[in-house]
Structure 1
Amino acid sequence: MSNYNDSGWEPVTRLGRMVQEGEIDDMETALNSGLPLKEPEIVDQLLPGLDDEVLDINMVQRMTDSGRRVKFRCVVAVGNRDGYVGYAEGRDDQVGSAIQKAIGIAKLNIIQVPRGSGSWEDRSDRPHSLTHRTTGKAGSVEVEVIPAPEGLGLAASDTVRAVLELAGIENAWTKSHGNTRTTVNLAKATFNALENASQSRHPQRRPNREEAEVADQ
C-alpha cells in the first residue's frame, strides 16, 4: 500500500485513487494513462516541491446592476524545472485568492516537455533544450522556440524566459510576433508552444481538458 494514503487527501477521481493506492507513482505514467487530471493533489503527490511564478497581476473592472465590480486576474506558471510545466489564469476579489486559484488550475494543466539536444550545433547528451522547434499562439501573439546549443542560455524576453526555465529549458532561441507587451498572451503562447511540442511527440497522450471523466467500471 502506498504511503500517499497518510496525506489526508480523499481522491474523487479514478486517477486520484490510482495515485493514492500506488498503482501510479510518477507523473509521466499519470499523464499517459488517458485519464483526465482533475485534482491538483495528484500533482502535489507526484511532483512535490513544484515551483510557481506569478507572471502578471491585473485589475479587471466590470459594471453590473449593483454597480462596479473589481476583480484581480493573476497569470501563473508552475514547474519542477525538470521537464514539467503548467500555466493558468485565476480571478478573484482578492489578489492572494486569485493567485492560489491560478496555481491550482496550472497544476491541472501540467504537461511533460520533450527535452533533449535538438540543435545541429550541439553534441551534448544532456537534455538541456528542446528536441525540435515549436510554435504557439495566443491572441495576436506567436512565439517560436528553437533548440540551441549548450552554453547559449535563453535568448528570450523575461516572460518567455520564466516559462521556459520552469519547464527545465536552459538553452533556446525564441522569436515573438504580435502584441508582445500583453503578458498574458505572451506567457500563454509560450506554454502553447511547449504543449504543441509535447503533443507532437505524444499525439494521444491525454484527452482534451474539456472531456468528462469516464465513469468507473
Structure 2
Amino acid sequence: MEQQGILYIVPTPIGNLADITLRALEVLKSVDLILAEDTRTSGKLLKHYNIETPLRPYHMHNEHKVVHQICSDLASGTAMALISDAGTPSISDPGFLLVRECLQQGVAVNCLPGATALIPALVNSGFPSDRFIFEGFLPPKKGRQSRMEALASEQRTLIFYESPHKLLKTLDQFISVFGPDREVVVSRELTKLYEETVRGSLEEVAAHFRDAPPKGELVIVLKGSGK
C-alpha cells in the first residue's frame, strides 16, 4: 500500500465497534499518524483493535491553526489517517478544511467507504430513498426558520441530525412549518444497545418524546411533500 504523502479519510463505527472495515483497520495500523477529533474516544477504539499508531488531536477548535502544518507534513512524505468520534469525517464533523487544503496543495486524499448514521436511518425509515436531501444540523438561531420554510414544499426525503436537548423544539418547529400530519421517523442510538426507531406523524412523535425524553445521538427522517 502506498503510504507516502497521502491522507486517508477513515470512517469509524457510530456505535457498535464491529462496524469497521478490514481495510480501515489496515490503514489505521499502517499510517504514521492518526488525526482524531477526540483522542480519548478514539483511543478506546484503537485499544480494542490493538492499534498503536500515534494520535494527534484535530477538531473544530484547532483545525484552522494546524491545517497548514498538517498539509506540510503530508507533502513531505508523512502518511496520515483522519478519524472523527464516530462515522465519516467531514459529514457534520471536522474534515472539509483539511481535505480542501490537501487538494489545493497537491496532496493525495483517499476516502474509505464506511459507517455514517444518515444512510441506515434513511433506509430504516421506509420513505423513498432514491432521492433525498441531507441537511445535517439546522442553524442554531439565525437562518433556522427560513431554512425550514425553504424546505416546506420539498418532495424529496429530508434527513437531519439533532441533539437530544433540542429534539422537541425542532419537532415543534417542524409541526408549524410542515404540518402536524407530516410523517417522520426518528432513529436514536443507531447500532447501540438501546437503539430505538420511532415512527408516526410529527405530532405523534413529538408526543412520544415529551413522555420519554430522548438521550443519545438522533437522526430525523422527514417524508417529502406530497408523497
Answer whether TM exceeds 0.5 for this pair. Answer: no
Which structure: larger Rg? 2
Which structure has the highest helix share of the two? 2
After TM superposition, the score normalised by the length of structure 2 is 0.25
